[in-house]
């Protein structure tokens, strides 16, 4: 167990708003064209995995005895270095955290700093697909000091690490950077092909990158999440989030009902006894098959303007896909004043059961019932959820493209091949002490 030390926090110069006193404009050392030429960054070159759960090693040119958990150690070490250097907007280690009593084990965190200092949303919330706008904040504007390392496929099929690797601007690098408004220990952003300035929309290649990162980390407490526009993504520049949390997410423990098994053994199930309706994808012969199926489903939702969240769990072996409608209900005035006053925006982490609360009153009164009421407002109705399942299955069955024009048809209200219930695995939850965050690091 690793206890996090509290450190003084200052705002990074590169994360100040343009025009703010002390801002350095382009940052003098940012990721944009003005500064990136001739720059170097550490490079973690991963081996492309074929089989789900494949064994992997880490071999560097200078040191061929690096531990298997090297990516884990690299990420944590670099993240703590940026913490010591004061590059975060607030000290997340000072946030009080507790497991809420009850059957589900919802986790509550009081994070007043995120509420006060997080960057505001700069785009419409009623459209899942929107063009990239370089005039608004994007990740080319962050400082190179906030980048932990590049994460790219190895050229020779071996896992390697290069502490100082020149950036080829013609081949846009994928980078792992700190989230300057962190929720938890090790909170980072995976930004695919950062210089291409891709809008926040999933494609096959980017989703495969995220699965590779989950598999390479090899730590069950490290999960990746994705928020679409309209589902509380706050920056329209393609990115995934990830952090460590040394307890199970409630969504990971609930029972599921199998809907179908695709060719190759990939199983698609539906969540049971959870406030938000969602799908679970797992198994299959290859990581690529799993990635293609889920990304096809995400592309379908994007093309049909359905906001959604994704949680990548179990080292990339299990993926939760949750369409949601909270922002739509807000716009229609269908959310109660009591919930609106909490100012909680239920994105992937909240939907998964990690409730990031902004007011001490809500934290002190946190209960399983309160968490359930909030998340129930996120969920699609049963009828609408079945319509969305029909859309997803049409997209998945399209195979190679999966992103063609999908016409919404009248549903019959039934899921295909509903059968089998997987009992949830009850695991013992460690007690989390207020004001102290601990993380198990697998070595």
Per the model's pLDDT, the better-predicted residue between 55 and 398 turns out to be 398
Q: Does domain 40-424 have CATH number 3.30.428.70?
A: yes
| Share in percent of the chain as helix, strand, coil (round to 5) | 30, 20, 50
CB distance 247 to 230 below 8 Å = no
Q: Please indicate, yes or no, whether the overall pTM of this predicted structure exceeds 0.85.
A: no
Residue 24 pLDDT grade (very low, low, confident, very high; cuts 50, 70, 90): very low
Tokens of 158: 């071996």
Which residues, 6 or more positions from 168, have their beta carbon under 8 angstroms from its beta carbon? none
Determine which of 63-72, 254-263, 397-406 has the lowest per-residue pLDDT on average. Answer: 397-406
pLDDT at site 29 = 86
Q: How would residue 7 be classed by pLDDT, with cut points 50, 70 and 90?
A: very low
Span 54-90, pLDDT tens digits: 444 333 334 334 444 789 899 999 999 999 999 999 8
pLDDT tens figures, 276-304: 999 999 999 999 999 999 999 999 999 99
When the pLDDT of each residue in the chain is averaged and rounded to a whole number, the result is: 82
Predicted confidence at residue 373, as pLDDT, reads 97
Give the range among 80-89, 123-132, 319-328 with minimum mean pLDDT. 123-132
Checking if the pLDDT of 364 tops 80, the result is yes
Bridge partner list, 269: 258, 280
Three-class secondary structure of residue 81 per DSSP = helix
1-10, 195-204, 205-214, range with the lowest pLDDT: 1-10
The alpha carbon dihedral of 154, 160, 162, 163 has a sign of positive
Q: What are the residue numbers of the active site?
A: 239
Residue 184 has pLDDT above 70, yes or no: yes
Paired with 310 in beta bridges are 226, 321
Write down the pLDDT at residue 437.
30
Number of neighbouring beta carbons within 10 Å of residue 121: 15
């Amino acid at each position: 167990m690793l206890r996090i030390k509290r450190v003084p926090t200052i705002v990074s110069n590169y994360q100040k708003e343009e025009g703010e006193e002390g801002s350095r404009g382009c940052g003098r050392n940012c990721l944009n064209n003005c500064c990136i030429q001739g720059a170097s960054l550490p490079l973690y070159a991963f081996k492309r995995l074929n089989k789900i759960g494949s064994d992997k090693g880490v071999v560097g040119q200078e040191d061929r005895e690096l531990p298997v958990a090297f990516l884990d150690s690299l990420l944590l070490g670099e993240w703590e270095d940026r913490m010591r250097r004061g590059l975060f907007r607030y000290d997340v280690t000072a946030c009080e955290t507790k497991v809420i009593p009850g059957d589900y084990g919802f986790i509550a965190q009081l994070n007043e700093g995120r509420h006060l200092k997080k960057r505001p949303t700069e785009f419409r919330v009623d459209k899942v697909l929107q063009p990239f706008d370089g005039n608004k904040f994007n990740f080319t504007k962050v400082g190179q000091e906030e980048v932990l390392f590049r994460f790219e496929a190895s050229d020779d099929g071996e896992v390697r690490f290069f502490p100082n690797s020149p950036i080829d601007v013609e081949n846009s690098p994928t980078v792992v950077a700190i989230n300057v408004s962190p929720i938890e220990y090790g909170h980072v952003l995976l930004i695919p092909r950062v210089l291409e300035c891709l809008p926040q929309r999933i494609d096959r290649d980017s989703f495969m990158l995220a699965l590779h990162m989950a598999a390479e980390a090899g730590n069950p407490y490290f999960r990746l999440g994705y928020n679409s526009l309209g589902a509380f993504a706050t920056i329209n520049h393609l990115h995934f989030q990830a952090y460590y949390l040394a307890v199970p997410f409630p969504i990971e423990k609930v029972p599921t009902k199998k809907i179908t098994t695709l060719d190759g053994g990939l199983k698609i199930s539906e969540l049971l006894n959870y406030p938000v309706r969602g799908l679970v994808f797992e198994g299959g012969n290859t990581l690529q098959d799993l990635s293609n199926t889920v990304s096809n489903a995400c592309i379908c939702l994007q093309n049909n303007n359905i906001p959604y969240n994704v949680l990548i769990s179990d080292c990339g072996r299990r993926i939760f896909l949750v369409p949601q409608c909270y922002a739509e209900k807000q716009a229609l005035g269908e959310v109660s004043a009591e919930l609106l006053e909490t100012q909680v925006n239920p994105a992937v982490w909240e939907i998964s059961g990690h409730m990031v609360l902004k007011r001490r009153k809500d934290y002190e009164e946190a209960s399983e019932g309160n968490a359930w009421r909030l998340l129930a407002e996120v969920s699609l109705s049963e009828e609408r959820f079945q319509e969305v399942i029909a859309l997803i299955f049409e997209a998945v069955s399209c195979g190679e493209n999966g992103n063609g024009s999908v016409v919404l048809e009248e549903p019959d209200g039934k899921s295909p091949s509903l059968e089998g219930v997987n009992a949830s695995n009850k695991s013992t939850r460690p007690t989390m002490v207020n004001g102290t965050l601990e993380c198990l690091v697998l070595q």
